[in-house]
């Protein structure tokens, strides 16, 4: 039996310990905000925060996060008003929106680590997250906005 804490709630799993966290979250726990985009840590759509770090849930097994604290987009902020989320809305970042949960989690993790990232640091930190719709200009501006106060 594997125990993990997801968005503050204790959960347990007694199935395949190698099951990627992504599919546990989406299919078993019903937390569908975290997305599948590639399954190979190439796109960042599945980004969640484990303890204080952004990780790709598609290549992280449920066993890897045993006893740790996982935050998904649903748990980022109780009312959905994390500075990153607010900045995203203020700048109308999303197009289709499918990549955005991963982008937001990545940005939130970046700001935990570095409160005032430079232009280059933002571009570097966000480059693991693909947006096929091409919202990069706004994502970059929104991360900057979130870091300077929304």
Residue 45 touches other proteins, criterion: CB under 8 A? yes
Residue 83 touches other proteins, criterion: CB under 8 A? no
Nearer to ligand FES among residue 33 and residue 97 (C-beta): 97
Helices (H), 17-82: 21-23
Q: How far is the CB of 116 from ligand FES (least distance, A)?
A: 25
Q: Check if the beta carbon of residue 47 is closer than 8 Å to that of residue 54.
A: yes
The entry of ligand FES, other proteins, none near residue 13 (CB within 5 to 8 angstroms by kind) is: none
Query: What residues line the site for ligand FES (CB under 6 A)?
Result: 36-39, 41-46, 56, 58, 94-100, 131-133, 135
Q: How far is the CB of 137 from ligand FES (least distance, A)?
A: 12
CA distance 58 to 62: 10
The entry of other proteins, ligand FES, none near residue 146 (CB within 5 to 8 angstroms by kind) is: none
Helices (H), the chain: 21-23, 83-90, 100-113, 119-125, 136-148
Residue 69 backbone phi and psi in degrees, to 5? -110, 120
């Amino acid at each position: 039996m594997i125990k993990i804490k997801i968005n503050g709630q204790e959960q347990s799993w007694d199935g395949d310990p190698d099951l990627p966290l992504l599919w546990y979250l989406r299919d078993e726990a019903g937390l569908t905000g975290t997305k599948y985009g590639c399954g190979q840590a190439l796109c960042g759509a599945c980004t969640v925060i484990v303890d204080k770090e952004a990780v790709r849930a598609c290549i992280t097994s449920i066993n890897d996060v045993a006893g740790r604290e996982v935050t998904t987009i649903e748990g980022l902020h109780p009312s959905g008003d994390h500075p990153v989320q607010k900045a995203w809305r203020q700048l109308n970042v999303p197009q289709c929106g499918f990549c955005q949960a991963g982008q937001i989690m990545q940005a939130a993790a970046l700001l935990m680590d570095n409160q005032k990232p430079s232009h280059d640091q933002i571009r570097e930190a966000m480059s693991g997250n693909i947006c096929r719709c091409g919202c990069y200009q706004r994502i970059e501006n929104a991360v900057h906005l979130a870091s300077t106060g929304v």
